Amino acid sequence: MSNNNQLTNIHNSKKSYIIYKSSKGFNLYTNFSKKIILNNKNIISFLNRKNDKKKLKKTDLFIGFFGYELLNNLIDVKIPKQKNINFPKGIFYKPEKSISLNNNLKYKNKIDFKFNNDFKLNINKDSYKKIFDKFKKRIKKGETYQIKICTKYKKKTKIDPLDFFCRLSKTNLAPEAFMIRDKNYSIISCSPENLITKKGPFITTKPIAGTVKKNKKMNKVKALNYFKKNIKETKEHNMIVDMERNDLSRICKIGTVKLLKTKIVEEYKDLFHYVSLIRGKLKRNIKNIDIIKAMMPGGSVIGCPKISTLNLLNKQEKENRNIYTGSFGFIKFNGDMRFNIIIRSILNFKNISEISVASGVVVDSNANHEFSENYIKAKALIDLFK
């Protein structure tokens, strides 16, 4: 039986499973022997599990996600009471089966879902501008240098997550793409951003800061030229790179944190991104929990400086972010790990789909431009519902 047929059979069997982008294609994880629903109390013990240095099988790992609210609590950042859909703060699974899939995922949806109702935006343009202007004043006062305003697109609907994910992988394949299908929820993501890749004593992070829309006149070379000449995009990128270098420096040996790639352009379906790559060598006796606390939530989707900006954001936002700007990935039993930043994602829970996006506000930002940039980021996901 082909691997694509196995995927279809697992999906049709209603089993829970996870698909995660690998260097050669995708890895599918299923037959979960453990499902750990994280909360503010048990996350410490989960992250303090001892690393086993023995030879690993492909399934010797926990795979899942940390939600935004959980990560805030972990670093002692308080969140005021907000509108809440009671989605779990984080879930990790222990798989007993792993299947390698190529990039050409095939699946035929047997059910014809009809998507009639339009997405509702939780912040209209006028409301967005008011928040934008408020944050602009905070920036001018020096309380923050950059801050991300989150907007959500929502609609009530059932979906077939595998159908969505297969189509998304063909139109907008991203290096950190993943999908979770569980009994009462699903997540589909084309996240481009790697937050943590740890192998042995070495750790890397790949900040993305800078977005420009693709069109017939804008190719990769012109996009790079645009970013270099755009003062706002350059300032934003430099601030995020400096912040993530600082985050790494808290857990890495002095003098080992280096820029491996500086300000390159990556191409996606509807846009180009401005990207850098940073690496460091971990200090001795650094634990999993130290890495997570230093690096999460990822700075490129929050703002700078991280803690004061998180406090400003949390006071302003009226509803939980849930998975958005949390992190998905795995922790192997030897301590190696890989985590992305959860952006460009659809959370379907209680038959409601939500897509969250954000754009950065710096002193040179324009409200209309940033509001439009949010739609550009959401478009590849919204198009799946057509």
Q: What CATH number is given to the structural domain containing 55?
A: 3.60.120.10
CA 129/CA 147 separation, integer angstroms = 14
Instruction: Flag residues of the chain having pLDDT under 70.
Output: 1, 53, 110-117
pLDDT of 93 reads 98
Contacts of residue 172, defined as CB under 8 A and 6 or more positions apart, other chains included, come to 190, 268, 269, 270, 344, 380
Report DSSP letters for 105-135, one per residue: ------S-----SPPEESS-HHHHHHHHHHH
CA 284/CA 334 separation, integer angstroms = 15
Task: State the Rg of the chain over Cα.
Answer: 20
Report DSSP letters for 34-90, one per residue: EEEE--TTTHHHHHTPPPP-SPPPTT-EEEEEE-HHHHHHHTT------B-----SE
Q: What own/partner pairs with CB < 8 Å and gap ≥ 24 does 6-12 have?
A: 6/99, 7/99, 7/101, 7/105, 7/107, 7/162, 8/106, 8/107, 8/108, 11/107, 11/162, 11/181
CA 300/CA 147 separation, integer angstroms = 9
pLDDT of 112 reads 67
Q: Is residue 99 part of a domain?
A: yes
Q: Is residue 269 part of a domain?
A: no
CB 322 within 8 A of CB 332: no
pLDDT of 1 reads 60
Q: Is residue 300 part of a domain?
A: no
Q: Is 6 helix (H, G, I), strand (E, B) or coil?
A: helix
Q: Is 296 helix (H, G, I), strand (E, B) or coil?
A: coil
CA 165/CA 89 separation, integer angstroms = 23
Q: Is residue 241 part of a domain?
A: no
Any bridge partners for residue 37, and if so which? 91
CA 386/CA 382 separation, integer angstroms = 8
Q: Is residue 239 part of a domain?
A: no
pLDDT of 156 reads 92
What are the DSSP E strand ranges found in the chain?
17-21, 26-37, 61-66, 90-101, 120-121, 146-156, 178-181, 185-189, 194-199, 202-205, 208-213, 258-267, 271-281, 303-304, 327-332, 337-340, 345-349, 352-361
**Number of folded domains in the chain?**
1
pLDDT of 296 reads 95
Q: Is residue 170 part of a domain?
A: yes
pLDDT of 114 reads 66
Q: Is residue 88 part of a domain?
A: yes
Q: Provide the domain limits for residue 146.
A: 3-202+281-293+305-385
Q: Is residue 276 part of a domain?
A: no
